[in-house]
């Protein structure tokens, strides 16, 4: 059976950063692998007055370095068409409709339409409505809508946005991107759990002491200060990526590894996340903002000195917290997380700390417990696993040492593994929504985050409270030490 997918892509925001950096290279990778061949076309649309030729040059530029040959790249780019269009102007949708129908016929696209909204979420509602009112949705093929984050800035705005979109698209036609879900190792969480009885049989509160999720960035806000100052780490990272990882780690085994079954289990896990009372927030959450500092002779500005950031900004660039899941499997097991900018090292990893043996038989002279067994899932920049075990040191005594079994994919394998966007676009073409976020997941996540946001908004804090190049404020360490744990990953000590 041919693996070729047949579709017309209409990319709103076709002149933007996301389209150039991620979407065009991902489409080219799919073309190179034969998932896209003859029967596909792309309409790029935005307000700028570009010609098809200019647009194709931009597309060619964006795949520079990936292309097999100039001819191959040019052949790919010949499927791209540009339509200048202001999304708020209803008239323009009739021009778009004409082009859509022409390309549908020219490339025999069978009425399959994928609309990618690579632009500000303020426009998602109006575009969805105009696509329907302008009769751009087809009856003959599929209509699918891919939308970028952020999906609202709190529960009520997300609900309003969802209602606007749902007036034109059904839930199973909406693909809400969380690019973390396209990452190989995030998808691998299910394989670790459900393909290894050794882990799945221990995946509960009888054997796991705590789980730690770290998404750490070494860069600051760069040129995104204006956007970031209205968002902050809580909305930018916890509401989506972190809670998605929690749901994959915590969900019950689905009956099949199919989208509906997996989503149903993820939703149940998220609905079991304990909602804090506002007065509990300080006990479970820590926020931080980076200050200026000099690391290895290099000077870094503080967050408040960054471009387009208010000099008295109360926006958090770091958040750490403890999530509790109130169900039989996880009762009593803290899921700690931390994420922030200008931290010591860039990296995303999950550390699963298993409960210790009840007694240390190996060191009569010490009350020290043995180090716990830890399973680490490395997500980026390197992908892989490690498992820490205790073994006997070679020699006459009974001293132990930690053995780290580690498998990290080579730089070459990582470089050749599909890009998150490539996988997600292919999933969407296949109608597989496993790695996209369902509205019920979005709703549960916002309800959790809103309580924290409201509690924080009622109180000003003495920022900055962590230096650039550290792993966040000291309170993030205390969050664990007061429970008898510590962060397993400590780049500042390595
Ligand atoms: P961007 O570079 O600012 O692009 C915005 C696009 O929207 C441009 O093509 C712009 O083109 C178009 N546009 C703006 N107003 C318009 C209007 N009234 N009618 C028609 N087109 C209009 O933004 P981006 O970085 O690509 O981000 C796009 C979306 O992806 C956002 O939701 C963002 O949060 C999300 N996202 C981006 C990234 C990333 O790496 N960039 C990562 C994750 C999520 P004209 O000015 O020519 O109209």
Tens-place pLDDT, residues 328-367: 999 999 999 999 999 999 999 999 999 998 888 886 666 7
Ligand 1 geometric centre to CA of 337 (Å): 30
| Residue (of 62, 72, 96) closest to 82 by Cα position | 96
Question: What is the rounded average pLDDT of the residues 235-260?
Answer: 94
Burial environment of residue 364 by CB neighbours within 10 A (0 to 12, 13 to 18, 19 or more) = exposed
Give the confidence band of 399 by pLDDT, cuts at 50, 70, 90: confident
> Would you say residue 481 has pLDDT above 90?
yes
What's the CA gap between 97 and 21, in Å, rounded? Answer: 27
Annotated binding residue at 477?
Answer: no
Alpha helices in 350-458 (DSSP H): 411-416, 420-429, 439-457
What's the CA gap between 469 and 492, in Å, rounded? Answer: 8
Give the pLDDT score at 1. Answer: 72
> Would you say residue 238 has pLDDT above 70?
yes
Q: Which residues approach ligand 1 with their CB closer than 6 A?
A: 13-18, 21, 46-48, 85-88, 118-121, 148-149
Tens-place pLDDT, residues 109-126: 999 999 999 999 999 999
- Percent of the chain scoring above 70 in pLDDT: 99
* Cis peptide bond N-terminal to 464, omega within 30: yes
Q: What is the chain's mean pLDDT, rounded?
A: 94
Point out the ligand 1 atom lying closest to the alpha carbon of residue 179: 43
* Cβ within 8 Å of residue 222, ≥6 positions away: none
* 33 backbone φψ class: left, alpha, beta (φ>0; ψ -120 to 50): alpha
Highest-confidence range of 145-154, 222-231, 474-483, by mean pLDDT?
474-483
Question: What is the rounded average pLDDT of the residues 397-401?
Answer: 85
Annotated binding residue at 392?
Answer: no
Question: What is the rounded average pLDDT of the residues 373-378?
Answer: 96
Chain-centroid distance of CA 390 in Å reads 34
Using N-to-C axis directions, what is the helix angle for 24-32 and 52-62, rounded to 10°? 80
Catalytic one among 241, 258, 299, 438? 241
3-state SS, residue 8: strand
What's the CA gap between 36 and 5, in Å, rounded? Answer: 6
Annotated binding residue at 16?
Answer: yes
* Cis peptide bond N-terminal to 381, omega within 30: yes
What's the CA gap between 59 and 491, in Å, rounded? Answer: 39
Ligand 1 geometric centre to CA of 16 (Å): 5
Tens-place pLDDT, residues 13-62: 999 999 999 999 999 999 999 999 999 999 999 999 999 999 999 999 99
* 472 backbone φψ class: left, alpha, beta (φ>0; ψ -120 to 50): left
The model carries a pTM of 0.93
| Residue (of 244, 289, 251, 201) closest to 445 by Cα position | 244
Give the pLDDT score at 3. Answer: 93
Ligand 1 geometric centre to CA of 18 (Å): 7
What's the CA gap between 481 and 459, in Å, rounded? Answer: 25
- Percent of the chain scoring above 90 in pLDDT: 85
> Would you say residue 154 has pLDDT above 90?
yes
Give the confidence band of 12 by pLDDT, cuts at 50, 70, 90: very high
SS3 content of the chain, % helix, strand, coil (to 5): 40, 20, 40
What's the CA gap between 152 and 145, in Å, rounded? Answer: 17
Q: What is the DSSP letter of 346?
A: -
> Would you say residue 296 has pLDDT above 90?
no
Would residue 85 show up in a list of annotated catalytic residues for this protein? no
Instruction: Taking the CA atoms of 381, 320, 254 and 159 in sequence, report the sign of the dihedral they define.
Output: negative
Ligand 1 geometric centre to CA of 113 (Å): 20
Q: What is the chain's length?
A: 494
Give the pLDDT score at 413. Answer: 78
* Cis peptide bond N-terminal to 150, omega within 30: yes
Q: What is the DSSP letter of 477?
A: H
Give the pLDDT score at 396. Answer: 86
Protein residue with its CA nearest to atom 41 in ligand 1: 18
216 forms bridges with which residues in the sheet?
340, 347
Q: Residue 95 corresponds to which tokens in the numbers above?
A: 């021009």
Point out the ligand 1 atom lying closest to the alpha carbon of residue 86: 19
Protein residue with its CA nearest to atom 19 in ligand 1: 86
> Would you say residue 174 has pLDDT above 90?
yes
Point out the ligand 1 atom lying closest to the alpha carbon of residue 48: 47
Of 284 and 363, the structure prediction assigns the larger pLDDT to 284
Give the pLDDT score at 365. Answer: 62
């Amino acid at each position: 059976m041919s693996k070729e997918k047949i579709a017309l892509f209409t990319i709103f925001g076709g002149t933007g950063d996301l389209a150039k950096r991620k979407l065009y290279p991902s489409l080219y990778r799919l073309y190179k692998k034969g998932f896209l061949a003859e029967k596909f076309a792309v309409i790029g649309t935005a307000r700028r007055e570009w010609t098809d030729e200019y647009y194709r040059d931009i597309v060619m530029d964006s795949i520079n370095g990936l292309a097999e040959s100039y001819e191959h790249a040019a052949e790919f780019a010949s499927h791209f068409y540009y339509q200048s269009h202001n999304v708020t102007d209803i008239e323009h949708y009739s021009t778009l409709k004409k082009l859509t129908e022409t390309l549908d016929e020219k490339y025999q696209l069978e009425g399959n339409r994928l609309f990618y909204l690579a632009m500000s979420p303020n426009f998602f509602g109006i575009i969805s409505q105009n696509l329907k009112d302008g009769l751009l949705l087809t009856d003959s093929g599929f209509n699918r809508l891919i939308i970028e984050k952020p999906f609202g800035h709190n529960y009520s705005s997300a609900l309003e946005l969802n209602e606007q979109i749902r007036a034109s698209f059904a839930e199973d036609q909406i693909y809400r991107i969380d690019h973390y879900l396209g990452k190989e190792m995030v998808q691998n969480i299910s394989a670790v759990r459900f393909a290894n009885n050794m882990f799945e049989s221990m995946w509960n509160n009888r054997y796991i002491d705590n789980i730690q999720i770290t998404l750490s960035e070494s860069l600051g806000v760069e040129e995104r200060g204006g956007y970031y100052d209205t968002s902050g780490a809580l909305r930018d990272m916890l509401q989506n990526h972190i809670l998605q990882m929690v749901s994959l780690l915590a969900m019950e085994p689905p009956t099949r590894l199919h989208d509906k079954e997996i989503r149903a289990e993820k939703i149940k896990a998220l609905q079991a996340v304990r909602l804090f009372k506002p007065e509990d927030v300080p006990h479970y959450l820590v926020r931080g903002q980076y200050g200026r500092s000099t690391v290895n002779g290099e000077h870094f500005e503080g967050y408040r000195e960054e471009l387009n950031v208010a000099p008295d900004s109360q926006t958090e660039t770091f958040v750490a917290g403890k999530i509790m899941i109130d169900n039989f499997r996880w009762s009593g097991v803290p899921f700690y997380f931390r994420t922030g900018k200008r931290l010591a090292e860039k990296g995303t990893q999950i550390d699963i700390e298993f409960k210790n043996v009840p007694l240390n038989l190996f060191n009569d002279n010490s009350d020290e417990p043995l180090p716990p067994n830890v399973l680490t899932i490395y997500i980026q920049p390197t992908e892989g696993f490690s498992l820490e075990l205790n073994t006997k040191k070679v020699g006459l005594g009974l001293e132990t040492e930690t053995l780290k079994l580690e498998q990290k994919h080579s730089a070459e394998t990582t470089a050749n593994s599909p890009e998150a966007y490539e996988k997600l676009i292919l999933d969407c073409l296949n109608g597989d929504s496993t790695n996209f976020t369902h509205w019920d997941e979005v709703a549960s996540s916002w309800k959790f985050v809103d309580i924290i946001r409201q509690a924080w908004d009622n109180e000003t804090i003495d920022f900055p409270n962590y230096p650039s190049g550290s792993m966040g404020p000291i309170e993030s360490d205390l969050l664990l030490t007061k429970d008898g744990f510590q962060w397993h990953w400590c780049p500042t000590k390595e």
